[in-house]
Amino acid sequence: MDLREFNHSGIAQGASRNGAAELREIDVTVRLSVNDAGSLWAAAAAKALSAGMTIDEIAETIGPREDPSVADCIALLCEPAGLPGCAIEDFTVAHAAPVMQLPRSIAA
């Protein structure tokens, strides 16, 4: 995405009348589909190893390679390090709710 094409109008509206930015909360949502849990585990394990975790600690945190905890792998890889000028209020990784299909009504 080219930032010159990004619609900044909603963000720019946060300036107050005296020109100072208002403090506000912004939610950022990302929805993922996991196509290869083994690759996800390998990436999470590599990051954990580089941070000094042992193989046993990794298996305890994200599960073994044969049966990875997908949510924990994603949390380990996506945990925000922080953004200048921001305070991270919450970071959550959860399974998406299944889509419910309502029964079709029968026309009389």
Q: Where in the chain are the domains?
A: 36-78
Q: What tens digit of pLDDT does each residue of 26-58 get?
A: 888 888 999 999 999 999 999 999 999 999 999
Confidence label for 99 from pLDDT (cuts 50, 70 and 90): confident
Tell me which amino acid residue 59 is: A
pTM of the model: 0.65
